[in-house]
Amino acid sequence: MFEPLACPVCQQVNQCAVSAGKPIEDCWCLSASVKAVISDKLRTELKGKACVCQSCYQKLSQ
């Protein structure tokens, strides 16, 4: 089970606009170059369901 507002990596708030009930246009990830490598690092059951936070995104995309 996962918490949609928590980053699956660090468990902190992920700032996902969609999970917070806001339009996708408000989400921070639209301005990021999301890489498939990050998806590969998530557990299978979280892929496509859980959003990482900006801090973890930056660390994982290096």
Token digits for 10?
């660090």
Name the residue type at position 55: S
Whole-structure pTM value? 0.70
Judged against a pLDDT cut of 80, whether residue 54 lies above it is answered with: yes
The residues spanned by each domain of the chain are 1-62
Q: Tally DSSP H helices, then E strands, for the chain.
A: 2, 0
Query: Average pLDDT in the 31-50 region?
Result: 66
Note whether 11 and 50 are within 8 A (CB).
no
Residues 6+ apart with CB under 8 A from 32: 54, 57
Query: Average pLDDT in the 55-62 region?
Result: 85
C-alpha torsion sign, points 62, 52, 2, 44: negative
Judged against a pLDDT cut of 80, whether residue 42 lies above it is answered with: no
Residue 13's pLDDT band (cuts 50, 70, 90): very high
